[in-house]
């Protein structure tokens, strides 16, 4: 069956806009069912466009066009055209400039914000208006050149019922407020900084605020406001403290000051993603803003800190300097994630943060590089831009900036960012512009380095060593390769900063060095090395690459115990786990070195407990699967379970003892979110989960006891997580009590939904029937993205066994949900498609079953461009793989 095809947008097709919009005046008459927007654009022909005849192109989506005026006169229908399924208005240059070189175009549109379930553009949920315009939501508000290289000054007038919408917010500074006399009131906002329309924001509703102030380095007083419900205001204090810390850090680390009279954040319950950096008015998914002892885990506190900082940092990296086109997305996202990571390294243990970042890259980004959606951090083409807000553009993008930081050194890097901000302030820039500033500030040639922007895939390093005892010389021979990715078969060598050190028996770690790889194969010599060392490779994950070195088991165990780099220690223990996994799956034998390493870690009281916790958190099903050319989902699940069970049984006494030690370290002290307490809670939680992989009445009782004695959510969630896959009376008791206590709290009940959706087994009920029952739960709300994700995404991501149920019922379930949610919210549904990304690597019948559902999805005429792009690329990857 032939279905509609998506249009492919190519980076090479970029053309500058024919017209610029210097100023936008927007006037909103807010009505939940029929909102009217009058937009007046002060236009100017774009000298840089080259083509003086280039027309003005306005984008629109799901809008009713009420009127169109040019310089105050109605524009006759003959003077403009509609194109692209009627969602584009094209006005010829000659028509626009007939009355002078500064045309003013007024457009009146109307639409129904309540019917907007896609949550893009302006929408109403629970009586509050809220916007999300990145990437292309503004076109659902008014016809506009909706592209990031059109930057304008905005003046926004909002009119609404005073009773229903007492608070009226938009970007910038508040100019005036007045009563309109008819039960309606008005607020006028002005944003003096030119911005693209994707940074526009509007919030209106019955909301309360938490206020504070920040004094900038140059002595300007900024009003800080966080908007939420009155009941949730106490949960906003942590975010406020984080905001102030982030504002100070950006001044100190990057010399960036805030630039408006006020900075506002609104916490939205219904939101498609994490948060949005709209100028002066950030909008957050409330899940990533609200935090207190009883409703946020330690990890949540950290996430709030990171996201508040990330969005704030965008004020410079993204807003003051924005992207020329969406292919440049990593210019703002990769850079801002790196800035966020640098900031977070000052807020928590840097080693632990770096392990988290490394684990995320390896489990998620490497998987993307190896799958159907592989793309460079600066993609060459896309069908739906929403699909490219990816771990590659964000996290790998951040790794690329980190490598620049390593190669240039902190000082030249800072010179480079200063130059970049100074040169491009108030404009829309490209990744090339960023690298050019770095090159100029440092004098380092970055031509080869730029391949990181264009080549997709994960470079693989093969390292071997050679020791010449007579000359005390140690040599590392390194070669690099990069596997082909869809559309890119031949790859050129990359510039790779490879941080190494030598571990010498007796004298610890020496000779730390960053090797600068540029060739396909290279050798690096170390002189005066007294004995054959153990190489510690890719320390602190100095580049987003894979490294293979033929370590002996004992060498890995030595790295686990004695390396002074947290990431390398963690990597070594994982390598041992992989070996033990392969051995168990192979001849069923055991790997003694893993047992030794685990025993040593349990008895290691010198290392930060948070680091031990990370080293005892074993790889997920997906990570184990991604090591295999042919994936047998059932064998992965059973081997993993058996290995964890064996480890937990062997080390049971030591785990329980260490668990007791961590609890004692916490006991008698008032709850605190400081790093030491967080570390003890983290290790206790990891151990509780670990020991329960071989659960029995004693370990179940241990969880229940922690749960009963808990005075904070971290301990509660750790106890519940430990028993997630253990059907037992203790689990029933905790889960139903938690459900009952929090059934009216959106975010809290989502935790329960997510745990239940991820649960591998529920007694006699299959995982798929259990997750279907969750959809039928009276509190399931299909319009709330967080709730939908708590069920569907949690099942797809965490329920390996349920998703891969041998009868295909897990595949059927996810395919059904993709279709169901695509009809209302494509960007939400598109994220579920990733569950099928490994389909063509699976053994039969898993492969055929997934293939069948993918084909069924692709045959649907009404699929959104978002879902269609991913499903078709996923199917195509299967065809290509079959040809290899």
> Pick from 311, 399, 608, 797: which binds ligand B3K (CB under 6 A)?
311
Q: With respect to Zn ion, which residue has the nearer C-beta, 332 or 681?
A: 332
Q: With respect to Zn ion, which residue has the nearer C-beta, 307 or 594?
A: 307
Q: Which of 311, 357, 395, 756 is catalytic?
A: 311
Report, in Å, the least distance between residue 871 CB and Zn ion: 26
* Residue 389: contacted member of ligand B3K, Zn ion, none (CB under 5 to 8 Å, by partner type): ligand B3K
Within 10 Å of residue 532's Cβ, how many Cβ atoms?
15
CA distances from 298 to 238, 718, 724, 787 (A): 12, 11, 19, 21
User: φ, ψ for residue 323 (rounded to 5)?
Assistant: -100, 140
Q: Specify whether the CB–CB gap between 159 and 27 falls below 8 A.
A: yes
Q: Specify whether the CB–CB gap between 607 and 562 falls below 8 A.
A: no
d(CA 835, CA 368): 11
Report, in Å, the least distance between residue 385 CB and ligand B3K: 8
Report, in Å, the least distance between residue 378 CB and Zn ion: 16
User: Could you tell me how many residues make up the chain?
Assistant: 884
582's tokens: 């392969």
Query: HEC string of 667-732?
Result: CCCCCCCCHHHHHHHHHHHHHHHHHHHHCCHHHHHHHHHHHHHCCCHHHHHHHHHHCCCCCCHHHH
340 belongs to the catalytic site: no
Residues numbered 291 to 310 that lie near ligand B3K (CB under 6 A) are: 310
> Pick from 30, 107, 135, 187: which binds ligand B3K (CB under 6 A)?
135
Report, in Å, the least distance between residue 405 CB and Zn ion: 18
672's tokens: 């605190």
Q: With respect to ligand B3K, which residue has the nearer C-beta, 246 or 877?
A: 246
Segment lying near ligand B3K (by CB under 6 A), choices 235-243, 274-282, 611-619, 710-718 = 274-282
d(CA 527, CA 828): 56
* Residue 191: contacted member of Zn ion, ligand B3K, none (CB under 5 to 8 Å, by partner type): none
d(CA 565, CA 538): 10
Q: Is 325 in the site for ligand B3K (CB under 6 A)?
A: no
Report, in Å, the least distance between residue 330 CB and ligand B3K: 11
CA angle 704, 709, 715 (to 5 degrees): 75
Report, in Å, the least distance between residue 207 CB and ligand B3K: 21
* Residue 362: contacted member of ligand B3K, Zn ion, none (CB under 5 to 8 Å, by partner type): none
Across 278-426, the runs of DSSP E, i.e. the strands, are 281-285, 321-323, 381-382
559's tokens: 């790295």
Best CA proximity match to 105, nearest among 23, 14, 194:
23
Q: With respect to Zn ion, which residue has the nearer C-beta, 336 or 874?
A: 336
131's tokens: 């916007």
Q: Is 340 in the site for ligand B3K (CB under 6 A)?
A: no
Question: In the 8-state DSSP scheme, what is residue 618?
Answer: P
Q: Specify whether the CB–CB gap between 136 and 196 falls below 8 A.
A: no
> Pick from 269, 277, 300, 305: which binds ligand B3K (CB under 6 A)?
277
d(CA 433, CA 437): 6
Report, in Å, the least distance between residue 220 CB and ligand B3K: 25
* Residue 325: contacted member of Zn ion, ligand B3K, none (CB under 5 to 8 Å, by partner type): none
For residues 530 to 549, the per-residue mask of contacts with Zn ion, x marking binding by CB under 5 A and - elsewhere, is --------------------
Number of residues this chain uses to bind ligand B3K (CB under 6 A) = 13
Q: Specify whether the CB–CB gap between 83 and 90 falls below 8 A.
A: yes
Q: Which residues contact 584 (CB under 8 A, 6 or more apart)?
A: 590, 639, 642, 643, 646
Report, in Å, the least distance between residue 864 CB and ligand B3K: 13
* Residue 358: contacted member of Zn ion, ligand B3K, none (CB under 5 to 8 Å, by partner type): none
> Pick from 333, 340, 563, 872: which binds ligand B3K (CB under 6 A)?
333
Residues numbered 141 to 200 that lie near ligand B3K (CB under 6 A) are: none
d(CA 278, CA 172): 10
* Residue 433: contacted member of Zn ion, ligand B3K, none (CB under 5 to 8 Å, by partner type): none
Q: With respect to ligand B3K, which residue has the nearer C-beta, 287 or 310?
A: 310
Please provide the DSSP assignment of 196-226 as one string: -GGG--EEEES-EEEEEEEE-TTS-EEEEEE
Report, in Å, the least distance between residue 139 CB and ligand B3K: 14
For residues 223 to 262, the per-residue mask of contacts with ligand B3K, x marking binding by CB under 6 A and - elsewhere, is ----------------------------------------
> Pick from 260, 276, 281, 545: which binds ligand B3K (CB under 6 A)?
276
* Residue 135: contacted member of Zn ion, ligand B3K, none (CB under 5 to 8 Å, by partner type): ligand B3K
Within 10 Å of residue 15's Cβ, how many Cβ atoms?
10
Within 10 Å of residue 427's Cβ, how many Cβ atoms?
14
d(CA 151, CA 138): 13
Q: With respect to ligand B3K, which residue has the nearer C-beta, 120 or 626?
A: 120
Sign of the C-alpha dihedral computed for residues 327, 328, 332 and 334 taken in this order: positive
Closest CB to ligand B3K: residue number: 134
Q: Specify whether the CB–CB gap between 50 and 16 falls below 8 A.
A: yes
Segment lying near Zn ion (by CB under 5 A), choices 245-253, 335-343, 552-560, 793-801 = 335-343
Name the region of 71 (left: φ>0; alpha: ψ -120 to 50; beta: rest).
left
Within 10 Å of residue 628's Cβ, how many Cβ atoms?
16
Q: Specify whether the CB–CB gap between 760 and 802 falls below 8 A.
A: yes
Report, in Å, the least distance between residue 336 CB and Zn ion: 5
Segment lying near ligand B3K (by CB under 6 A), choices 268-276, 526-534, 656-664, 722-730 = 268-276
Report, in Å, the least distance between residue 123 CB and Zn ion: 21
Segment lying near Zn ion (by CB under 5 A), choices 92-100, 141-149, 333-341, 519-527 = 333-341
Best CA proximity match to 168, nearest among 281, 317, 306, 1:
281
Q: Is 134 in the site for ligand B3K (CB under 6 A)?
A: yes
Segment lying near Zn ion (by CB under 5 A), choices 330-338, 344-352, 523-531, 730-738 = 330-338
Q: With respect to ligand B3K, which residue has the nearer C-beta, 133 or 560?
A: 133
Residues numbered 606 to 645 that lie near ligand B3K (CB under 6 A) are: none
Segment lying near Zn ion (by CB under 5 A), choices 293-301, 327-335, 401-409, 608-616 = 327-335
Residue carrying the six token digits 């990533």: 288
Residues numbered 371 to 430 that lie near ligand B3K (CB under 6 A) are: 386, 389
> Pick from 92, 245, 273, 600: which binds ligand B3K (CB under 6 A)?
273
Report, in Å, the least distance between residue 280 CB and Zn ion: 16
Q: Are strands 262-268 and 221-228 parallel, antiparallel or unpaired?
A: parallel
Q: Specify whether the CB–CB gap between 289 and 298 falls below 8 A.
A: no
Question: In the 8-state DSSP scheme, what is residue 841?
Answer: G
Residues tagged active-site: 311
Q: Which residues bind Zn ion (CB under 5 A)?
A: 333, 336
Q: Which residues bind ligand B3K (CB under 6 A)?
A: 134-135, 273, 275-277, 310-311, 314, 333, 386, 389, 827
């Amino acid at each position: 069956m032939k279905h509609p095809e998506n249009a492919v947008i190519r980076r090479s097709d970029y053309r500058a806009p024919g017209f610029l919009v210097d100023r936008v005046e927007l006037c909103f008459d807010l009505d939940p069912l029929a909102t009217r927007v009058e937009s007046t654009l002060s236009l100017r022909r774009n000298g840089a466009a080259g083509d003086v005849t280039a027309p003005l192109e306005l984008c629109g989506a799901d809008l009713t066009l009420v009127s169109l005026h040019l310089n105050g006169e109605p524009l006759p229908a003959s003077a403009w055209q509609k194109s692209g399924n009627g969602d584009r208005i094209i006005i010829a240059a000659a028509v626009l400039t007939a009355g002078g070189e500064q045309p003013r175009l007024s457009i009146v549109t109307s639409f129904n914000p309540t019917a907007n379930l896609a949550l893009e553009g302006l929408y109403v949920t629970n009586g509050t208006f809220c916007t999300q315009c990145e990437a292309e939501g503004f076109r659902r508000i008014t016809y506009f050149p909706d592209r990031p290289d059109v930057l304008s000054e905005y003046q926004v007038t909002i009119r609404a019922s005073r009773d229903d919408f007492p608070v009226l917010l938009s970007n910038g500074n508040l100019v005036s407020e007045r009563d309109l006399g008819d039960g309606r009131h008005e607020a006028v906002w002005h944003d003096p900084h030119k911005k693209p329309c994707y940074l526009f924001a509007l919030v209106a509703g019955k909301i309360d605020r938490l206020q504070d102030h920040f004094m900038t380095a140059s002595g300007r007083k900024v009003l800080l406001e966080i908007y939420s419900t009155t009941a949730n205001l106490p949960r906003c204090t942590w975010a406020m403290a984080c905001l102030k810390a982030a504002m100070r850090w950006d001044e100190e680390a990057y010399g960036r000051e805030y630039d408006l009279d006020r900075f506002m954040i609104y916490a939205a319950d219904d939101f498609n993603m994490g948060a949005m950096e709209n100028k002066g008015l950030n909008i957050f998914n409330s899940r990533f803003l609200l935090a207190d002892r009883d409703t946020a885990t330690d990890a949540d506190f950290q996430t709030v800190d990171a996201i508040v900082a990330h969005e704030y940092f965008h004020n410079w990296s993204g807003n003051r300097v924005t992207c020329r086109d969406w292919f440049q997305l990593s210019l703002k996202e990769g850079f801002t994630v790196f800035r966020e990571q640098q900031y977070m390294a000052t807020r928590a243990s840097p080693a632990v943060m770096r392990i988290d970042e490394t684990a995320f890259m390896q489990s998620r980004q490497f998987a993307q590089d190896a799958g159907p959606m592989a793309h460079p951090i600066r993609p060459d083409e896309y069908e739906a831009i929403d699909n490219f807000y990816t771990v590659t553009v964000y996290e790998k993008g951040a790794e690329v900036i980190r490598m620049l930081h390593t190669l240039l050194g902190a000082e030249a890097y800072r010179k480079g960012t200063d130059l970049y901000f100074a040169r491009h302030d108030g404009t829309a820039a490209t990744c090339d512009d960023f690298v050019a500033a770095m090159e100029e500030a440092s004098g380092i040639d970055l031509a080869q380095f730029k391949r990181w922007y264009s080549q997709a895939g994960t470079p693989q390093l093969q390292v071997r060593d050679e020791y010449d005892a007579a000359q005390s010389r140690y040599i590392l021979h390194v070669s690099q390769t990069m596997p082909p990715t869809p559309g890119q078969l031949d790859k050129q060598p990359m510039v790779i900063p490879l941080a190494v050190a030598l571990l010498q028996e007796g004298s610890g770690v020496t000779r730390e060095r960053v090797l600068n790889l540029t060739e396909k194969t290279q050798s690096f010599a170390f002189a005066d090395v007294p004995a054959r060392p153990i190489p510690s490779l890719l320390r602190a994950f100095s580049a987003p690459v894979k490294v293979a070195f033929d370590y002996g088991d004992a060498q890995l165990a030595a790295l686990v115990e004695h390396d002074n780099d947290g990431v390398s220690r963690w990597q070594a223990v994982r390598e041992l786990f992989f070996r033990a996994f392969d051995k168990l799956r192979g001849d069923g034998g055991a790997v003694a070195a893993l047992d030794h390493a685990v025993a040593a870690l349990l008895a290691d009281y010198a290392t930060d407990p948070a680091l031990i916790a990370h080293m005892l958190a074993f790889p997920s099903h997906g990570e184990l699967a991604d090591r295999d050319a042919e994936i047998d989902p059932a064998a992965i699940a059973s081997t993993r379970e058996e290995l964890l069970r064996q480890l937990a049984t062997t080390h049971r006494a030591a785990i329980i003892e260490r668990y007791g030690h961590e609890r004692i370290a916490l006991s008698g002290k008032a709850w605190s979110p400081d790093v030491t307490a967080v570390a003890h809670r983290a290790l206790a939680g990891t151990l509780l989960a670990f020991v329960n992989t071989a659960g029995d009445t004693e370990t179940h009782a241990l969880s229940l006891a922690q749960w009963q004695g808990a005075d904070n959510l971290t301990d509660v969630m750790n106890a519940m997580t430990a028993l997630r896959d253990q059907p037992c009376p203790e689990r029933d008791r905790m889960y139903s009590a938690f459900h009952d206590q929090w059934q009216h709290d959106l975010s809290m009940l989502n935790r329960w939904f997510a745990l239940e959706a991820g649960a591998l087994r529920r007694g006699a009920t299959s995982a798929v029937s259990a997750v279907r029952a969750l959809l039928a739960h009276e509190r399931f709300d299909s319009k709330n993205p967080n709730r939908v994700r708590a069920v569907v995404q949690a099942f797809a991501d965490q329920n390996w066994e349920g998703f891969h149920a041998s009868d295909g019922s897990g595949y059927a379930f996810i395919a059904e949900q993709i279709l169901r949610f695509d009809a209302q919210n494509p960007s939400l549904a598109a994220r579920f498609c990733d569950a099928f990304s490994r389909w063509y690597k699976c053994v039969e019948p898993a492969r055929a079953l997934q293939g069948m559902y993918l084909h069924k999805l692709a045959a649907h005429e009404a699929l959104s461009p978002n879902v269609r792009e991913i499903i078709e690329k996923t199917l195509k990857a299967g065809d290509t793989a079959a040809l290899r």
